[in-house]
Structure 1
């Protein structure tokens, strides 16, 4: 049997070519794609003898008794995450967390399963019709959370008078909504929230909007890619008052107006009529929603108002941070959730090809919905699906190798026997390397032992490429017999040497 060193030399050219390519250059355009499988059925051919015919019949009988394959796709609107996709998700979540921590926010988390009342207490919203809800075995109505903000409210109220304000919390969690799926919209998604609790001034909104701009910049996006539409519900209330619309129509008007970009002006006009808004008033409202500057809005209303003053202050704060190019005044932005009470904002793709990237605003009266005392709050929700589409379209997704580096994923060492007889020895080498890494001060290295006992070198090198291994240890019979030696090969350079087990 040839020496392991000689075998490796035959693969020198392969290793050199491999070192000049980008290993595992998978992109995140596969992120979130549902796994699909096809089941291939092979028909039995006819035999030329009675014995062959008997075998065919037995095969057919066994096939008929075979259990029918289940649907291998995950439920509609959900996703599988394979290793490369998990690394992409961790990379995205690490960016969320880094920005949150940079701005002094602390992480919290709540269960994905909550009491149903947490989401239905504030009725009349579309979201209450999209719940994944059921009655558990204790006859308790529960629901998978459709968003994170109600859970935050519950956590804040639970702290009672022991809470020291302001609270600055962030969370990254899974959310569920049974809704019609479109591009960038799934029934299961992950969401990043940042919330400030206990600050009534627009400085809270300025802080979280600044955090959003910082995130965009850190993933390579600019104000040419993303804009942030800003308005305030108070301004819409002033527009409605000027148009003679009663206060009790405010929430349904907000819900209708929020659909303007999606369904168009005529459909919104129909929905306004359905909630009792006269056509003349609808015309005034729709005209006001087309105003593009605070100065023009002041002229339309005839005077400066509290809402306009508030927006002017917010724009000034963000301009002082050098972020004005990201901002767009858009009075049509009201956000669909009825708990918003003041400033609202929404991130959008400048090309207009994708749905909203994120959205948020002020919600000062949410706590009383749950029986507590109201506390001023401002925050945002940021889903994982649209941002990944945007980054992929702009070619801003890092390679798998870069993601590994950013995440600090340790290097991988592969250990393999060159024959079945050497598998136990390979296990000894792997444990020796693992023990060494466990005691290392610079972190743990992955030691991947090849469990298949009869694999050829070509397969082993492919494995090394797939796991982005830096080093390969081959355990051959002749080297092992010569003082328990193994061959160590540096895959980036092709350098190799025989090393004794005690020297590992």
Structure 2
């Protein structure tokens, strides 16, 4: 027996219903904010990711050479491919540009609960504006999208890399390895890297923006004022860091406490990636949502993955197979979700099958009723049955 590869998953019909439901909700929310969907290849040149993240990313990437000797990789994330597409095709387009995307990514990590080698990201990129209102709108989209899909308990934390770097400059600790340790929250290792460690710890515990005397705090205050207009709750968190230097300015993370220690479900902020990929410098920002982790968080909060969709089952009595198939085809063309009896079961077995599938309305094509231009419709939930004329069936199904 051949098994699925380690770190990957199969999704059964019930799981796919849940995933498609949340996916549709997210798409609707992003499009309400003016974002348009894009899609990039699953494979990209490996150089795209080493330029963005350094050679170290090769160890956790599914990288390979094709038959022509080109070094390729399964995408480990989606920001770099989307920005590569922007540099190739969209630099001269009117700004701002708002792209959103949804796709699978691959990383050669050690699989554990909630972390897989194939995983899905939902995210967006905002290109061409870094005004306070633009960044506030981006953050509000991230927060509201998670709330609107059904999460009740989420926490938004906002930091500022420019302010953090300015502070580290003042105590002689602004080095790439220090930022990486802060990003990993390895405070024990930081003690040996930062001379005034206690002062650093006091700084990252700051919760009042008015206490910060850096010029960058003024812009951050304007962003917070816009978030207040949007009614978005947030916390200042100056401990948020990024290990790569092209990240700049505002950074933010959203946590779902229901997930426990591995609680982050969204991360984003401003970055300066376009020049690295060969384009002209331009303001860029965005965020990515860990789609799989959102589903786990929803399940842990007891979210009910239910859609108010109506499904019907068409079966028949006697030699009415062709008539039943014609009726099922007609209803499907009118937009109804219809399953038809294709196993030639008797009527009681058909009813039993429909009930197990969760279909509550069964349309029965019977000889006597068909001659009168009618069918029988049985409500399995109420154990009631009535005769409905064929020319009135569509209105009946809509209103039932």
TM range, smaller chain = 0.7 to 0.9
**For residue 15 of structure 1, what is the aligned residue in structure 2?**
none
Report SS of the residue matched to 1:374: coil
**Counterpart-to-counterpart distance in 2, 1:503 and 1:213:** 46
Aligned length, in residue pairs: 392
Q: Which moved more, 1:485-494 or 1:366-375?
A: 485-494
**For residue 266 of structure 1, what is the aligned residue in structure 2?**
188
**Counterpart-to-counterpart distance in 1, 2:9 and 2:48:** 26
**Counterpart-to-counterpart distance in 2, 1:381 and 1:125:** 22
**For residue 398 of structure 2, what is the aligned residue in structure 1?**
none
2:222 matches 1:313? yes
Displacement, 1:480?
8.7
Structure 2 counterparts to residues 291-370 of structure 1, below 5 A: 291-296=206-211, 298=212, 304-323=213-232, 326-350=233-257, 353=260, 354-363=262-271, 365-370=272-277
Displacement, 1:474?
3.9
Q: State whether residues 258 and 333 of structure 1, in contact with CA within 8 Å, keep that contact through their aligned partners in structure 2.
A: yes
Structure 1 residue corresponding to 2:361, chosen from 471, 488, 498:
471
Q: State whether residues 259 and 268 of structure 1, in contact with CA within 8 Å, keep that contact through their aligned partners in structure 2.
A: no
**For residue 244 of structure 1, what is the aligned residue in structure 2?**
172
Distance 1:352 1:445, change over 3 A: closer
2:312 matches 1:412? yes
Report SS of the residue matched to 2:247: coil
**For residue 434 of structure 1, what is the aligned residue in structure 2?**
329
**Counterpart-to-counterpart distance in 2, 1:381 and 1:293:** 27
Q: State whether residues 310 and 337 of structure 2, in contact with CA within 8 Å, keep that contact through their aligned partners in structure 1.
A: yes
**Counterpart-to-counterpart distance in 1, 2:72 and 2:204:** 39
**For residue 163 of structure 2, what is the aligned residue in structure 1?**
235
Displacement, 1:291?
2.8
Q: State whether residues 258 and 336 of structure 1, in contact with CA within 8 Å, keep that contact through their aligned partners in structure 2.
A: yes
2:379 matches 1:490? yes
Q: RMSD of the TM alignment (CA)?
A: 2.8
**For residue 2 of structure 2, what is the aligned residue in structure 1?**
70
Task: Give the structure-2-normalised TM-score.
Answer: 0.88
Distance 1:456 1:186, change over 3 A: same
- Structure with greater strand percent: 2
Distance 1:500 1:366, change over 3 A: closer
**Counterpart-to-counterpart distance in 1, 2:19 and 2:203:** 41
Displacement, 1:469?
2.4
The structure with more radius of gyration: 1
**For residue 445 of structure 1, what is the aligned residue in structure 2?**
336
Distance 1:160 1:435, change over 3 A: closer
2:24 matches 1:94? yes
The superposition leaves residues 36-74 of structure 1 with CA deviations (integer Å, 9 ceiling, x where unpaired) of xxxxxxxxxxxxxxxxxxxxxxxxxxxxxxxxx223xx2
Q: State whether residues 430 and 447 of structure 1, in contact with CA within 8 Å, keep that contact through their aligned partners in structure 2.
A: no
The superposition leaves residues 450-500 of structure 1 with CA deviations (integer Å, 9 ceiling, x where unpaired) of 22234572x423321243324323456x75997898644233443335679
Displacement, 1:283?
4.9
Distance 1:143 1:455, change over 3 A: farther
Task: Give the structure-1-normalised TM-score.
Answer: 0.71
**For residue 135 of structure 1, what is the aligned residue in structure 2?**
65
> Whose relative contact order is higher, 1 or 2, with alpha carbons under 8 Å and at least 6 apart?
1
